[in-house]
């Protein structure tokens, strides 16, 4: 097996960018259109986004399917097709909802079901392909490349769609949304063409007779019985819960406590994302390019990113009662940087653990961790927003309410760091880039 070179890794990163671009339509663009242009309750798009995360509990099943085949590319292409179709139906459902809420709502549920299934099938199979084809000393960089390109896909698609939608009309929404979905799907086809066959041939996924007859339940039980995999699943859930809790409350915090305008709070969000990208780049370089022949210790990056995130959130908790003079932008940049460090290192470790497991089980492993991440993402944003609302009602002071939630997030990141240390103390240190002795 030759494995993936840098060009192949970048091509697979383009697929991740395509996934990000289509998901942006559903979770960002249509969210805004439903609430602003059609004056629908914000709970409707929030519920649909939560539902698409719930559907991603099917990730282990998609991973199991790709494990049993000789190639993962068809699963990625099929998932991208389902994802693009779901986005197109979601656009139609949004337009219909304004006049026929029941019909439009049912169609939207179908659309977001397809979106969740498409993301699960394509995303899980793509990560499993990377796990099986990327050399250990390139995993950190591969994770950084694919996630940076996903963010880039979201940014480019959002900027392009946003500029073409003005002045808004239903016809423009249909044309622009359809063009983004179609372009992303075609980009994924071009990017995937021949990559798996060239890099991994002539060695197909080895399926033993025992694996051939093993059911999905058997495969899932085998992985969850693995202490290392089970510990890592818990770590993924706790860390991603902490990571996503701030998503819906950071801008309201800036507005309520620091009296920032909508434009200023949006710029603050941009500062945070800039920090995330820099953190990803640093791990990509430090975790692979400068590692020489000895793979980098991703555990240190994961723990450092978690503790850095906790420190930044502790700073925001202090800022919640300090106000005006606090260097909020620098604090938020630090939070983004630490988040980026932790996230990419965790994905790199995830790829390492999946690749270090039983051959032809990468898909189910990635599926289990992807499902854990999806649950955490779905709960995190909702928990953060509801938690602030409850705290504001109970305490009666905005700053103190945000301080409590940020403190809880910081504690979760500290717990995640402890779980990461425990998870990496199991029996496959090399999977985390730790040299075995």
Q: How many CB atoms lie within 10 A of CB 79?
A: 25
- Averaged over 24-44, what is the pLDDT? 82
Superfamily holding 218-437: MFS general substrate transporter like domains (1.20.1250.20)
Q: How many CB atoms lie within 10 A of CB 266?
A: 12
Tokens 């009666």 correspond to what residue? 396
Give the C-alpha separation, 169 to 37, whole Å.
Answer: 9
For the domain with range 1-195, which CATH number is right: 3.30.70.260, 2.60.40.10, 3.90.1570.10, 1.20.1250.20?
A: 1.20.1250.20
User: pLDDT, tens digit, for every residue of 353-363?
Assistant: 776 555 557 78
Tokens for 210, please give them: 């025992």
Domain map (residue ranges) of the chain:
1-195, 218-437
More confidently predicted of 317 and 68: 317
User: pLDDT, tens digit, for every residue of 43-64?
Assistant: 788 789 889 999 998 899 888 8
- Nearest Cα residue to 94 out of 83, 82, 107: 107
DSSP 8-state assignment for residue 2: -
With a CB cutoff of 8 Å and minimum separation 6, the contacts of 225 are none
Residue-level pLDDT at 436: 43
- Tell me how long the chain is: 437
In CATH terms, are 1-195 and 218-437 the same topology? yes
- C-beta separation of 116 from 51 below 8 A: yes
- C-beta separation of 272 from 332 below 8 A: yes
Q: Report the predicted TM-score, pTM, of the whole model to 2 decimal places.
A: 0.80
User: pLDDT, tens digit, for every residue of 277-317?
Assistant: 899 888 888 765 444 444 446 788 999 999 999 999 999 99
């Amino acid at each position: 097996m030759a494995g993936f070179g840098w060009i192949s890794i970048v091509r697979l990163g383009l697929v991740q960018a395509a996934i990000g671009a289509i998901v942006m339509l559903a979770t960002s663009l249509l969210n805004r259109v439903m609430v602003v242009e059609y004056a629908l309750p914000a709970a409707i798009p929030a519920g649909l986004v939560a539902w698409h995360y719930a559907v991603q509990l099917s990730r282990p099943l998609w991973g199991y399917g790709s494990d049993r085949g000789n190639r993962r590319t068809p699963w990625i292409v099929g998932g991208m097709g389902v994802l693009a179709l779901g986005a197109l139906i979601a656009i139609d459902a949004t337009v219909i909802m304004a006049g026929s809420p029941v019909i439009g709502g049912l169609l939207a549920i179908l659309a977001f079901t397809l979106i969740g299934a498409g993301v699960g099938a394509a995303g899980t199979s793509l990560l499993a392909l990377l796990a099986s084809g990327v050399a250990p000393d390139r995993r950190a960089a591969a994770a950084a490349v694919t996630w940076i390109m996903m963010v880039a896909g979201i940014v480019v698609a959002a900027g392009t769609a946003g500029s073409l939608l003005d002045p808004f009309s239903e016809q423009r929404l249909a044309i622009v949304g359809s063009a983004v979905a179609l372009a992303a799907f075609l980009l994924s086809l071009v990017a995937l063409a021949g990559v798996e066959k060239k890099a991994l041939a002539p060695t197909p996924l080895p399926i033993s007779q025992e694996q051939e007859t093993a059911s999905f339940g058997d495969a899932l039980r085998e992985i969850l019985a693995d202490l290392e995999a089970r510990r890592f699943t818990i770590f993924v859930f706790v860390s991603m819960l902490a990571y996503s809790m701030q998503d819906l409350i950071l801008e309201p915090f800036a507005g309520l406590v620091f009296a920032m305008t909508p434009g200023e709070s949006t710029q603050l969000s941009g500062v945070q994302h800039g920090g995330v990208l820099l953190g990803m780049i640093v791990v990509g370089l430090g975790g692979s390019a400068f590692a020489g022949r000895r793979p980098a210790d991703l555990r240190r990056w994961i723990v450092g990113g978690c503790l850095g995130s906790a420190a930044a959130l502790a700073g925001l908790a202090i800022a919640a009662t300090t106000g005006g003079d606090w260097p909020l932008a620098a604090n938020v940049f630090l939070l983004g940087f630490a988040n980026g460090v932790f996230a990419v290192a965790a994905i790199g470790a995830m790829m390492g653990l999946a690749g270090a497991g039983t051959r032809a089980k990468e898909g189910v492993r990635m599926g289990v961790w992807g499902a854990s991440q999806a649950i955490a993402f779905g709960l995190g944003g909702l928990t953060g927003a509801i938690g602030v609302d409850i705290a504001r009602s109970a305490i009666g002071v905005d700053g103190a309410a945000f301080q409590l939630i940020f403190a809880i997030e910081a504690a979760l990141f500290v717990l995640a760091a402890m779980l990461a240390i425990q998870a990496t103390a199991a029996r496959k240190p090399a999977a985390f880039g730790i040299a075995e002795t």
